[in-house]
A and B are shown apart, each in its own frame.
Chain A
Amino acid sequence: MIFDRGDKVTIRQEDGNPSAQAVFRIGVILVLAVVIFVIVRQMMIPASFGQYGRYRGNSISENASLNAAYAGSSNDCGECHQQEFMALAQAQHREIDCQSCHGPAAKHVSKPAVTSPIVQETAELCNSCHRQIAGRQDGKIVTVRPLLHSGGVNCTRCHNPHRPQLSFEGDKS
């Protein structure tokens, strides 16, 4: 606004003490802000937060209660699959868990009739451990070149996966 000499200017003035009113208004706003802050904070923070540390305590149980897809170990299988279990225990594959080849079987253990584990007869299964690749030296595991060894046909044609060494018994049995 530009005023010139001789202009008439009108100034309005509030009744009462203006500063007190302004202070009152700001006070009300601040109190409201505090109340809203407290309510919102109460709503945002989960009940179990801080129970064990700076996190939601219930999250531990949520993580820990997920279902296991893999059963604990081969011992869970031995009871029902005694033949395979005994064969494996005596052969070169003894250190391998059943589920290493048969996949997750926790559901199968509790309900054998409902779900069956994978039975993978392919050369792919044996090759994942036995194929000769860079980094997999003979000192760690006996390796083969599938094409040279068997023409790449299914290894289970000649080897029993639970008792793989042929000279052991002369034949797949």
Chain B
Amino acid sequence: MKEETLKVKTSNKAVEEHMKKVVPRRVFLTTACKMLAAGILAPMGSLAAILNSSFAGESGETSDWTRVWAGKEWGFIVDTEKCIGCARCVDACKQENQVPPDKEVFRTWVERYVETTQGVSIDSPNGGLDFEPLAETEEKQFFVPKLCNQCENPPCVQVCPVSATYRTGDGVILVDGKRCVGCRYCIQACPYGARFMHPKTHVADKCTWCYHRIAKGMRPACVTVCPVGARKFGNLRDLKDPVTQIIRKERVRGLKTDMGTKPQVFYLGLDEVVV
């Protein structure tokens, strides 16, 4: 340590100038810049290395899903001409997927459209389980079952900040309950309102076309219990599948196709007022 004493003669400038000499600013700045660049580049290099290792090394130990998915692309048809609004599907879905009986949360629900001279009224009391008779009118009245559209271009997957939701190789969007942090971005992003916050698990929840059932060769629960065949489920890659046949031959339409989401639920007999 060496101490230097100087007398301030004219102004504070003298002191400032002396300080500049003590810490050579140019040297400091250039070195600092170099270190900063190195500090940014080094972790990026290591990141790339880790990414490579974790992407390559893992596969093999669990079941090979790419083989399961080969030649499969699930599709869903809702025939609104047939639906009788009995809501057996709503009930079955809740029981199959342990969705709490709350009147706000549904993986699938049935809407009723009633067109009157005053306009269109849409209701879905308790997801369609509690429809009231209403007054009879001569105008259009019909039911529209709704569920996740398993979009080919899913906004919910795009916005998830932790990659807790994804589209499987056979075209179903699933939620990774262990990774989900419950931020609700996906719920906001879904144009169909198909997602909700699960009241018990507190993670995002949605229709999975009963992925656990279709993986075992069964149909989704709602399709199983529909008494009138208003819900159909099939493999779009199989040209002989009745669902594929309907999509190829009949006039089908998805919901909100103008949003570019490419929904994979196809509706038969959908009125233009349906949103």
Give chain A's interface residues, CB within 8 Å of chain B.
2-15, 18-19, 22-23, 26-27, 30, 33-34, 37-38, 41-42, 45-70, 72-73, 93, 95-97, 99-100, 103-104, 128-129, 131-137, 140-141
- Chain B residues whose CB sits within 8 angstroms of the CB of A73 once the complex forms: 218-219, 224
Interface residues on B, range: 35 or more
- Chain A residues whose CB sits within 8 angstroms of the CB of B85 once the complex forms: 133, 135-136
Tell me whether B178 and A137 are in contact (CB under 8 A).
no
Partner of B176, one of A10, A22, A55: A55
Tell me whether A136 and B2 are in contact (CB under 8 A).
no
Tell me whether A3 and B133 are in contact (CB under 8 A).
no
- Count CB-based A-B contacts (< 8 Å): 225
- Chain A residues whose CB sits within 8 angstroms of the CB of B216 once the complex forms: 68
Tell me whether A48 and B58 are in contact (CB under 8 A).
yes
| Residue B86 interfacial (CB < 8 Å) | yes
Tell me whether A134 and B141 are in contact (CB under 8 A).
yes
Binary CB contact string for chain B from 223 to 234 against chain A (1 if under 8 A, 0 otherwise): 011111100000
Q: Given A18-B23, A97-B224, A100-B225, does the pair A5, B1 have CB atoms closer than 8 Å? A: no
Tell me whether B95 and A69 are in contact (CB under 8 A).
yes
Partner of B174, one of A3, A60, A136: A60
Partner of B22, one of A7, A13, A34: A13
Tell me whether A19 and B23 are in contact (CB under 8 A).
yes
Tell me whether A26 and B133 are in contact (CB under 8 A).
no
Please give me the residue from chain B that is nearest to A132 by CB atom: B133
Tell me whether A12 and B3 are in contact (CB under 8 A).
yes
Binary CB contact string for chain B from 51 to 94 against chain A (1 if under 8 A, 0 otherwise): 10011001100110110000000000000011111111000100
